[in-house]
Amino acid sequence: MERFSLEGKTALVTGGSRGIGFAVARAFIEAGARVVIAARNEGQLAEAAAALGVNCIGLRCDVSDPGDIARLVARAWELGPLDVLVNNAGISPYYKRAELVSVEEFDAVVRVNLRGSYFASVEVARRMFEAGRGGSIINVSSVAGIMPLERQGVYAATKAGLHQLTKVMALEWAERGVRVNAIAPGWVETDLVDELFASRHGERLRADIPLGRLATPDDVAGAAVWLASDAASYVTGSVVVIDGGRQLR
Ligand code: NAP
């Protein structure tokens, strides 16, 4: 359907070099978009961009550094005004109880997951306002931002924060045509959770998913295409949950 097409649109996907971000970038390109992917590891970024073909370029960026984000957005914009930003870059570097988390660990997660998404949104939205062209911002959050999951305290707080940012920015930017939504996945088969699912906790976590399996990155990408497209032109401030029913338990 034409309203689901991304023909003529340009998107920036942070963390697009693997996992969910890569699947989103691929789905965007399949829907007709041009895509800029960003991540820190330049080798992996170049490989991913090459795999995605002529409608993709990779630009290095560490979203924990607001200066890096500003440079990324400026460079991406030089290639053409952005219509879509996907704040997907995120980390979950440990799985431990709250009393065991250090100040440094706490800050590292907040800097990437929450602060990175915040300033990427602001950088892109300001340019969208100036260009008077509106756009779609999509935050990749998590069901951990909706329901309490043990040993995920800091991560969960960043994702819950992302939900509130989604709503506030959606409210503030609606009249200028910038829609802001979130996608909250449950467990997805990526490097991020490989180790966890290989551990003794893995079986228990899997057993808690009503649909009986982890999501694939492609299970998440379809919602991103919809939210980026004109088919979602009346959708803003929403959190789309893709969790195999996990939050029902
Ligand atoms: P992943 O496979 O580990 O991929 C993470 C991506 O983010 C990579 O491209 C990585 O590239 C990039 N990245 C990490 N830190 C970065 C930084 N400081 N600056 C720029 N890029 C950075 O993870 P994933 O599972 O696809 O996760 C993607 C998003 O989905 C995250 O926000 C995550 O919280 C969320 N999510 C995942 C799951 C899950 O079960 N997998 C569930 C719910 C939500 P570099 O390392 O090269 O920078």
Active site residues: 155
Q: Are 87 and 13 in contact (CB under 8 A)?
A: no
Confirm if 113 and 155 have CB atoms less than 8 A apart: yes
Cβ of 18 closer than 6 Å to ligand 1, yes or no, is yes
Query: How distant is the alpha carbon of residue 194 from its chain centre?
Result: 19
What is the C-alpha to C-alpha distance for residues 155 and 230, in angstroms, rounded to an integer? 31
Question: Per the structure block, which two tokens stand in for 87?
Answer: 């704040």
Q: Whose CA is nearest to atom 16 of ligand 1?
A: 89
Structure tokens at 234: 């009346």
Quote the pLDDT of residue 223.
98
Q: Is 20 in the pocket of ligand 1 (CB under 6 A)?
A: yes
Containing H/E element for 211? none
Residue 200: its pLDDT value, please? 84
Strands 84-87 and 178-185, bridge-based pairing: unpaired
Instruction: For 114-137, write each residue's pLDDT tens digit.
Output: 999 999 999 999 999 999 989 999
pLDDT at residue 202, as a whole number: 87
- Indicate if ligand 1 lies below 6 Å from the C-beta of 119: no
pLDDT, residue 131, reads: 97
Residues 6+ apart with CB under 8 A from 111: 64
Q: Determine whether the shortest distance from the Cβ of 112 to ligand 1 is under 6 A.
A: yes
pLDDT at 201: 83
User: What pLDDT is recorded for position 11?
Assistant: 98
Instruction: Count how many Cα atoms sit within 13 Å of the Cα of residue 74 in the half-sphere of its side chain.
Output: 6
Which of 35, 41, 53, 34 minimizes the C-alpha distance to 17?
41
Contacts of 103 (CB under 8 A, 6+ apart): none
Domains of the chain by start residue, with CATH: 2-186+221-238 (3.40.50.720)
pLDDT score recorded for residue 94: 85
How far does residue 229's CA lie from ligand 1's centre (Å)? 23
Question: Helix axis angle, 153-173 relative to 117-131, nearest 10°?
Answer: 10
Residue 71 Cα to ligand 1 midpoint, Å, equals: 20
- Matching residue, tokens 């660990």: 105
**Which residues of the chain fall below pLDDT 70?**
none
Q: What tokens appear for 49 in the block?
A: 């961009």
Tell which one of 188, 193, 242 to mutate to probe ligand 1, the residue whose CB is within 8 A of the most ligand atoms: 188
Answer whether 87 contacts ligand 1 (Cβ < 6 A): no
- pTM comes to 0.98
Whether 14 contacts 86, CB under 8 Å: yes
